[in-house]
Structure 1
Amino acid sequence: MKPKVWEAIHQLQTKSREPVCAYVYDLDGIQKNVREMQQTMPSWARLFYAIKANPDPRVIESLLPLVDGFEVASIGELLKVREISDSIQILFGGPGKRESELEMAIQHNVTYIHVESLLELRRMIWLARDRIDPVKILLRINLRADTLPQTKITMGGRPTPFGLDEQLIGQAIAMIRNEGQGAVRLCGFHFHSLSNNLDAKLHAEMIELYLQKVAEWAARYDLEIEVINAGGGFGVSYNEAPEFDWPLFTSLIAQSDAIKRLAGMNLLFEPGRFIVADHGYYAAEVIDIKTSHQQQFAVLRGGTHHNRLPASWGHNHPFVIMPTDRWTYPFDRPEVRHGKVTIVGELCTPKDRLHTDAEVERLCVGDIVIFEKSGAYCWTISHHDFLGHPHPEFYYLTGGKEHAAIDDTVRSAVGQAADQC
């Protein structure tokens, strides 16, 4: 645990009588991570950030000067980016784009639109039929290869709502040439076949497969390939499994044989989780400890309505305990010593669990449980308003200092002390 994160969370508890419930995002850490990633990337590779992982404006702002652009999956996400920059490159994907979304994507100068079906392609051609400059598109392809690495979420190589099946490429290209002349320009292809893959060697093999396929299609259909978007899917380990080895991965793709057949092409990556996950922390204070049927439970001020990732993925989320001396009552302070405890939230549902049977040396009411690796898909995918509990506070670490950004719905709950943070 970084000392500045620890100190920021400690200050939260000392400045308010309310139990701590907060996200802390280390913007310095995010920027450092991106700089290190880019140091090992080949010159023909480009780094985009998939904001679905964490669309917090402060996170987007911190990445703006470092990444080549952003990947969005809705007009809502697109507008978040355009509020911060009207010129940064944007990739627009997603399997269910409405006509109004496609129109707005064109209006907001999206760099590439990922086309995911023949109907979407025909609709795109129709909407762009009167434009002076053609809309630049990438065809998202669902490969039929059975050699893709298998992870918890597989998004290609099998039936899926994402992209065009490989055998439809010829039909799509014919449609572009026969109906889409002057309306759209095919600039390349998009692939995103898996999520949260931890094996760098297998990931590099998958990228090589992408490059080989595109080189074959370029020769077969006489295509000029501007870009290949190889998606994200770089894994983050939430247990003892080894982390994804980014330097190994980039060294392997730099040795690609297929890239030589695609001279002048740029390879795009659009990670989200891999950029931000390790630099976010969810801190929640223990408000009760109880025993039920010989099992011990620690109840937090917070839970899966703030951090749904462990419930969604079915894992025990990694955490550390911040011991505190917060206890003002004349009776004994409940605790767990040298035992197992299940960490749950404040919701009235048995599914509100963040870690089952955690081994702890000591955990007391008033201590703070800090869930590490909470920078991606934690707050964003959560059911924030279930039961009407107050939202957590949000803090951002940058330049060695923390800056609070408290939502109006939180202010009445945390009181004047929080306003001073």
Structure 2
Amino acid sequence: MNQDVQQWIENHHVKHQPFCAYIYDLTGLSRHVETMLEAIPQDTHLFYAIKANPDRKIIETLLPVVDGFEVASIGELEKVRSVSEEVPVLFGGPGKKEYELEAALQKGVAYIHVESLLELQRLIHIARNMDTQVSVLLRINLQTNALPTTPISMAGQPSPFGMDEQLIGEALSLIRSHENKHVHFRGFHFHSLSNNMHADWHIEMIRLYIQKVEGWKKKFNVPVHVLNAGGGFGVSYDENPDFDWKQFMSLLHKEGILDRLEGTKLFFEPGRWLVANYGYYAAEVIDIKKSMEQHFAIVRGGTHHHRLPASWGHDHPFSIVSVEEWEYPFERPEITSGEVSIVGELCTPKDRLHTNAIIQKLRVGDVVVLEKSGAYSWSISHHDFLDHRRPDFYYMEEEMNYG
């Protein structure tokens, strides 16, 4: 665990108020993305998919370093626009409503990812009525078994995401129609998988995308200005390593893949891989009990704050910050050299963060810190279940200025 985070928790622990907070390392996040950009090739652009974590401070931190943001709702678009009116925004999502398309045009998105023929027809109708120009990327669900398999696959199989590649011709005919003067085809969008750990798999996927686009350019006689390859770069929540970005960039150069783009811009829109390692969820142990030879540590918090472990079915990695103060006149419960399940304060057995963790020492009053909690943690959680108090939010910034 980041030693600055541990020191911060030790300094801000308040007696009689069980500690429960998200802590975001904004300095580390900014440096991480700057390092990513050092390896990125020319005509390759990095967007942040804010669905991973739409916290305003994170958007503000990333604004100077990324090329733009990807959003999947008007609510997310409004969050980005509240930070910047000019930054390029990609607007995706399989269920765009008419009012969302209207708002997207009003707020000046750079590209809309069109996911169905009906959505394209709606957009043409709306843009004509508003007399507004808009650029689109067609999101394609490739019909192939050549895509890598990850726990969440979003293409290569029946899917609500994107349109089948057999519909490209019909989509382009709608755009080329004499009735359409406002919606302009700029390229293709793919997002086939989530949380891929293997750089070589990602290379093969990009190679397949380019091969497909090369064929479509010839078949339909269209210029392709943008190939959006989505995100899907993986973060490991066990002993396995995360996706290796430097290896991926190196392979892009070595394999000659970029040379085949011939002036087409390559977009990436990761979310998890940017922010996951720069967020921490810290919750104080409020009770330890033994039930039928199993130990449980109950924390002030749980899956209503941090739903990712329950959602993905994994044991979340954590560290322990020891708190020495104990003011009660009775014995302090503790576990030494044993197994314990870290559970939350909810009235459900599914409120588990880690099952049968092996620990050296854990006491009531210590703080359990769930690492890698910067993505898909707070924002996907069922905050209002049982109406417990929400966690605090703190931000570590340059020169250790905390807020």
TM range (shorter): over 0.9
Aligned residues between the structures = 403
Contact conserved, 1:4 with 1:400, CA < 8 A, in 2?
A: no
Contact conserved, 1:212 with 1:258, CA < 8 A, in 2?
A: no
Q: List aligned pairs for 1:222-371, cutoff 5 A.
A: 222-257=221-256, 259-371=258-370
- Residue 122 of structure 1 is matched in structure 2 by 121
SS at 1:400's partner residue? helix
Aligned residue type for 2:5? V
Contact conserved, 1:200 with 1:249, CA < 8 A, in 2?
A: yes
SS at 2:283's partner residue? strand
Aligned residue type for 1:12? H
Greater shift in the superposed pair: 32-41 or 125-134: 125-134
Q: Does 1:397 align with 2:399?
A: no
For residues 130 and 250 of structure 2, what CA distance do their matches in structure 1 show?
Answer: 42
Deviation at 1:402, TM superposition (A): 4.1
Deviation at 1:385, TM superposition (A): 1.2
Deviation at 1:132, TM superposition (A): 5.1
Contact conserved, 1:117 with 1:164, CA < 8 A, in 2?
A: yes
| CA deviations over 1:7-34 (Å, ceiling 9, x no partner) | 1111221x44301000000000110110
Contact conserved, 2:26 with 2:396, CA < 8 A, in 1?
A: yes
Q: List aligned pairs for 1:85-100, cutoff 5 A.
A: 85-100=84-99
- Residue 162 of structure 1 is matched in structure 2 by 161
| CA deviations over 1:16-72 (Å, ceiling 9, x no partner) | 430100000000011011011111111121000000000000000000000000000
Contact conserved, 2:105 with 2:132, CA < 8 A, in 1?
A: no
- Residue 4 of structure 1 is matched in structure 2 by 4
SS at 1:254's partner residue? helix
Aligned residue type for 1:21? C
Deviation at 1:259, TM superposition (A): 3.9
| CA deviations over 1:145-187 (Å, ceiling 9, x no partner) | 1011111100000011000011111111111112553121000
For residues 187 and 326 of structure 1, what CA distance do their matches in structure 2 show?
Answer: 62
For residues 389 and 106 of structure 1, what CA distance do their matches in structure 2 show?
Answer: 39
For residues 274 and 71 of structure 1, what CA distance do their matches in structure 2 show?
Answer: 14
For residues 216 and 105 of structure 1, what CA distance do their matches in structure 2 show?
Answer: 31
RMSD across aligned positions (CA): 1.2
- Residue 57 of structure 1 is matched in structure 2 by 56
Percent identity for Structure 1 against Structure 2: 58
For structure 1, which runs of at least 5 residues remain unmatched after alignment? 405-421
- Residue 149 of structure 2 is matched in structure 1 by 150
SS at 2:159's partner residue? coil
SS at 1:128's partner residue? helix
SS at 1:137's partner residue? strand
- Residue 209 of structure 1 is matched in structure 2 by 208
Deviation at 1:257, TM superposition (A): 4.3
Deviation at 1:345, TM superposition (A): 0.3
For residues 47 and 299 of structure 1, what CA distance do their matches in structure 2 show?
Answer: 40
Greater shift in the superposed pair: 128-137 or 266-275: 128-137
For residues 256 and 179 of structure 1, what CA distance do their matches in structure 2 show?
Answer: 42
- Residue 218 of structure 1 is matched in structure 2 by 217
For residues 259 and 11 of structure 1, what CA distance do their matches in structure 2 show?
Answer: 49
Deviation at 1:243, TM superposition (A): 1.4
With over 3 angstroms needed to count, the CA separation of the structure-2 counterparts of 1:145 and 1:257, relative to structure 1, is farther
- Residue 413 of structure 1 is matched in structure 2 by none
Q: List aligned pairs for 1:383-394, cutoff 5 A.
A: 383-394=382-393
User: What TM-score comes out, normalization by structure 1 length?
Assistant: 0.94
Aligned residue type for 1:385? D
Greater shift in the superposed pair: 246-255 or 114-123: 246-255
Contact conserved, 2:92 with 2:114, CA < 8 A, in 1?
A: yes
- Residue 381 of structure 2 is matched in structure 1 by 382
For residues 58 and 8 of structure 1, what CA distance do their matches in structure 2 show?
Answer: 18
For structure 2, which runs of at least 5 residues remain unmatched after alignment? none
For residues 58 and 274 of structure 1, what CA distance do their matches in structure 2 show?
Answer: 17
Deviation at 1:143, TM superposition (A): 0.3
For residues 203 and 314 of structure 1, what CA distance do their matches in structure 2 show?
Answer: 24
Q: List aligned pairs for 1:35-46, cutoff 5 A.
A: 35-46=34-45
With over 3 angstroms needed to count, the CA separation of the structure-2 counterparts of 1:253 and 1:31, relative to structure 1, is same
SS at 1:173's partner residue? helix
Contact conserved, 1:277 with 1:376, CA < 8 A, in 2?
A: yes
Contact conserved, 2:74 with 2:104, CA < 8 A, in 1?
A: yes
For residues 326 and 274 of structure 1, what CA distance do their matches in structure 2 show?
Answer: 37
SS at 1:209's partner residue? helix
